[in-house]
Amino acid sequence: MQFKLLGQGVLLVASMSLASCWLDSGSSSSSSNDPPPSDQPPNILFVIMEDVGIDQMESFGYGGADIAGPPAVPSIDALADSGIRFRNTWAMPECSPSRATFMTGLYPMRTNVLQAIGPDDLANSHVSPFTMTVPKVLAAAGYESGMFGKYHMGGPENNPAGNAAPAALGWEYFYGWGGLPASIDTTAGGVAPEGVSYSCGFVPGAAHPDGAHAGACYIPQTDSRASCSEMAGELGGDPAGLQCLTQGGVLVPGQACLADEVELSALDGLVNFEIENAHYVSKLLINWDGEVEDVSLTDPRSRGYRATIEVDSAIDWINSRSDDTPWMATVSFSSAHTPLQHPPRDLVPSGAANSLVANCTSDAPLNQRGITDALIESLDTELGRLLVETGLATRTSDGGLSYDPQASNTVVVVVGDNGSFAPTVKAGFDLSRAKGSAYQTGVWVPLVVSGPLVEQPGRNVEHMVNAVDLYQLFADIAGVDLDQVVPGGTDAEEMLSYLSNPERDSVREVNFTHGALNIQANDAVNGPCVFNENFCSHTPMSKQICFDNGGVWWGPGADVGTEEGDPIKAVEHCWQVNQTLFENGLDQITMGATDYMAIRNDEYKLVRNVALDYDPLTDSGVRTETEEFYRIDQAVPEPKLDREGEDIPETARTAVEEENYQQLVHQLELLLSSHQACPGDGNSDGVVDQEDIDNHARLSAEWGESSTYDFNHDGLTDAQDLAIIQANMGACPQ
């Protein structure tokens, strides 16, 4: 293989030709179930799991000793048994950066998508519409692309494309949600009596003090009318409140229907259909053929269990594709993201939902872990239905999944977007260094690839793979030469050869992950959120999201402390939390890193964390930087992780360890120095020229607010940004 240095000093593996990608791989198979010869590349089904780290996956060797797991995932296991488990895969520490790396082939420092995107983040930290995303790359090979479920790569806030952001990035069809599940509606649709909070978003069963066995279930049918049926809980089944919610309705406990069909106006004061409710009521967004539909909460399409809606829409789109046109469908599940909320029990055939109680708060940690297992199992059940109803798999006589990778011309890829949420981390992993950190538990994810290109299925690959490499994999499957389509280069490494060559040596010499703060107007940041009274983070982008994740909000709108010893007040930065604690004579807490990264080789890992902390001597925030060096592995069932106190200090390193440390430092600095700022280059084509002036003129005239041409990060695209373009005309630094 030839290697070449392209773009900003990124080492690339030249992409393989179409013949070496899929024709040779298919012709080398000896299976009697091979599909007939095809004159087009394989379809691609790309499945993204939300907050599902490798610790959740028993088939990867982990999770088996945990009290609340592991979740049963027979569909994923069937794909893995007929494909490849990549057991050494890193994603980014949070969801939006991983999604951006999947779809752009670039590390976060190049896209500025550095943490989960929130409504205050400028377009500078959204995936740029000028980027060659996967759907744009695959369009060069004639692919059609659809995305279903969670998008979360930018917009509608602070983005010129608004709700059309998925279309601006190349998806011909999008059906899903702009971002995270909303908070749980503790009024359960406005029916909770005064002083009662339904923490799981539905009226619980009669065994609960404030529950009910039966009631009237009102389900919106149009923007003006609702149907009603009387519903009761079932022994061993979901309570009436959850049954009704699953169907898109609101249960009025203990009452009969006013009528079989009623005007919504007749329900005023009785129910409220205008409140989002976590995994069940979400404002649906649809993009298709250049059209945008922002679906109301009273529309039945916006109501129902998210994972089911995500799969229903994917099935409809896939089954409507022509056999003559290759396609890529990205199914981006919302599960198992917080808020943790019960899935429908019939989607959890293992029985894991039977022990759940109607307490979805952090006060019931074991129940939260059980809910997470149930959410993951429901995802897996819906994935199995997706495979069956699109003809990629069949059901056995006992209801199991029968998947033959050679029976269709479709490659299936399943991956986690980051490590597990800390309270749900399985035994053997480190819940104190989970999602949102660059430590192993935060970035080590399951990756399964299956389909007709895989030789000797059922095997494990222990070599390092990065989330960014999927960009190259998708291009290679499609037969697209990235050197031609993306001349500026990418960070992705080749991984297709792992499918066809079981003896393949490691492609990567190092792996990398990175998180930091996104860009907000005038250097603002998300407000401080304190977890477990000992750790402050800027990751949650609002007070409610902080609360949904079990934190205490210290940002704008904080519930200011009123009792002695309760110092909470509204501040802008985490270091000001420590300043407040110091002023009250209380112990300081740990500052979450605001720039965190890690790099590893086969045996060792370097973690670098940068944070702002309070300095009593100067009464201000000061920058702190730490480096930690670990030995790590993928041992089953107890891997050696980068746990606190297990780093290898300089004074204790052997000569071999010191050599590895120095090599990792060098590799990290080389990688970081490969990214050079280029003020004025709003379309990221490597040169500041007339095209940038023209783009700026259009955006400033038609939009004027946040865009990739807002170079001074004030939230405006204006004359000040034009001056920056004019002052930097010419090629970007290399």
Q: pLDDT tens-digit profile of 12-43?
A: 333 333 333 333 333 333 333 344 345 799 99
* Largest distance between two CA atoms of the chain: 81
Whether 677 is in a domain gets the answer no
3 state DSSP class of 219: strand
In percent, the amount of the chain with pLDDT more than 90 equals 90
Q: Which of 7, 9, 105, 109 is nearest to 513 (CA)?
A: 109
116-175 confidence digits (pLDDT tens): 999 999 999 999 999 999 999 999 999 999 999 999 999 999 999 999 999 999 999 999
Q: What is the pLDDT of residue 536?
A: 97
Domain that holds residue 240: 184-275
Q: What is the pLDDT of residue 513?
A: 98
428-451 confidence digits (pLDDT tens): 999 999 999 999 999 999 999 999
Domain's final residue, options 240, 275, 310: 275
* 377 pLDDT higher than 80: yes
Whether 479 is in a domain gets the answer no
Q: What is the DSSP letter of 170?
A: T
Q: Which of 347, 376, 476 is nearest to 41 (CA)?
A: 476
501-516 confidence digits (pLDDT tens): 999 999 999 999 999 9
Q: What is the pLDDT of residue 415?
A: 98
Instruction: Report residue 66's pLDDT band, with 50, 70 and 90 as the boundaries.
Output: confident
Q: Which of 116, 9, 661, 158 is nearest to 436 (CA)?
A: 116
Contacts of residue 479, defined as CB under 8 A and 6 or more positions apart, other chains included, come to: 17, 18, 21, 22, 41, 141
Q: What is the pLDDT of residue 235?
A: 85
Please, what is the end-to-end C-alpha distance for the chain in angstroms?
25
- Give 565: exposed, middle or buried? Use CB within 10 Å, 0-12, 13-18, 19+: exposed
Token duo for residue 157: 């806030």
Contacts of residue 623, defined as CB under 8 A and 6 or more positions apart, other chains included, come to: 610, 611, 612
pTM (2 d.p.): 0.93
Q: How far apart are CA 482 and CA 455, in angstroms?
A: 24
What is the DSSP secondary-structure string of 258-301? Answer: S-SEEEGGGGTTT----S-BTTTB---EEEETTEEEE--TTSGG
Q: How far apart are CA 346 and CA 343, in angstroms?
A: 9
How much is the mean pLDDT over the chain? Answer: 93
Whether 340 is in a domain gets the answer no
- Give 581: exposed, middle or buried? Use CB within 10 Å, 0-12, 13-18, 19+: middle
* 489 pLDDT higher than 80: yes
Distances from the Cα of 318 to the Cαs of 313, 363, 393, 610, in angstroms?
9, 42, 14, 45
* 11 pLDDT higher than 70: no
Q: How far apart are CA 49 and CA 76, in angstroms?
A: 11
Q: Cβ–Cβ contacts within 10 Å for residue 584, how many? A: 12
Q: What is the pLDDT of residue 28?
A: 32
Q: What is the pLDDT of residue 5?
A: 28
Q: What is the pLDDT of residue 38?
A: 55
Token duo for residue 368: 């939260």
Whether 268 is in a domain gets the answer yes
What is the DSSP secondary-structure string of 525-590? Answer: -PPPEEETTTEEES---SHHHHHHTTEEE-STT-----STT------SSHHHHHHHHHHTT----E
Whether 713 is in a domain gets the answer yes
Domain's final residue, options 275, 297, 323: 275
Which 3-state string (H, E, C) describes 427-481? CCCCHHHCCCCCCHHHHEEEEEEECCCCCCCCEEECCCEECCHHHHHHHHHHCCC
Q: How far apart are CA 621 and CA 575, in angstroms?
A: 6
Contacts of residue 656, defined as CB under 8 A and 6 or more positions apart, other chains included, come to: none
Whether 315 is in a domain gets the answer no
* 408 pLDDT higher than 50: yes
Amino acid of residue 573: H
Q: Cβ–Cβ contacts within 10 Å for residue 566, how many? A: 11
Q: How far apart are CA 380 and CA 75, in angstroms?
A: 6
In percent, the amount of the chain with pLDDT more than 70 equals 94
322-362 confidence digits (pLDDT tens): 999 999 999 999 999 999 999 999 999 999 999 999 999 99
Q: Helices 690-702 and 719-727, interaxial angle, to 10°?
A: 180
Whether 503 is in a domain gets the answer no
Domain's final residue, options 247, 275, 303: 275
Token duo for residue 262: 């009623």
Q: Helices 306-319 and 365-389, interaxial angle, to 10°?
A: 10
Contact between residue 329 and residue 45 where contact means Cβ atoms under 8 Å apart: yes
Contact between residue 445 and residue 105 where contact means Cβ atoms under 8 Å apart: no
Q: What is the pLDDT of residue 561?
A: 83
Q: How far apart are CA 98 and CA 416, in angstroms?
A: 9
3 state DSSP class of 514: strand
For residue 283, how far is the Cα from the chain centroid? 18
- The residue with tokens 């993928």 is 634
3 state DSSP class of 651: helix
Contact between residue 190 and residue 201 where contact means Cβ atoms under 8 Å apart: no
Token duo for residue 215: 């009631």
Contact between residue 227 and residue 218 where contact means Cβ atoms under 8 Å apart: yes
Distances from the Cα of 403 to the Cαs of 181, 210, 320, 457, in angstroms?
31, 45, 22, 12
For the chain, the domain total comes to 3
Q: What is the pLDDT of residue 655?
A: 98
Q: Cβ–Cβ contacts within 10 Å for residue 616, how many? A: 11
Q: What is the pLDDT of residue 86?
A: 98
Instruction: Report residue 6's pLDDT band, with 50, 70 and 90 as the boundaries.
Output: very low
* 62 pLDDT higher than 70: yes
Contact between residue 148 and residue 332 where contact means Cβ atoms under 8 Å apart: yes
Instruction: Report residue 585's pLDDT band, with 50, 70 and 90 as the boundaries.
Output: very high
276-319 confidence digits (pLDDT tens): 999 999 999 999 988 999 999 999 999 999 999 999 999 999 99
Q: What is the pLDDT of residue 13?
A: 32
Token duo for residue 277: 């409710």
Q: What is the DSSP letter of 705?
A: B
361-373 confidence digits (pLDDT tens): 999 999 999 999 9
* 666 pLDDT higher than 80: yes
Q: What is the pLDDT of residue 564?
A: 65
Q: Which of 520, 550, 342 is nearest to 436 (CA)?
A: 550
Contact between residue 409 and residue 33 where contact means Cβ atoms under 8 Å apart: no
Distances from the Cα of 396 to the Cαs of 350, 383, 399, 401, 671, in angstroms?
17, 16, 5, 6, 50
Q: What is the pLDDT of residue 234?
A: 84
Whether 636 is in a domain gets the answer no
Q: How far apart are CA 730 and CA 504, in angstroms?
A: 43
Q: What is the pLDDT of residue 67?
A: 81
Q: What is the DSSP letter of 520?
A: B
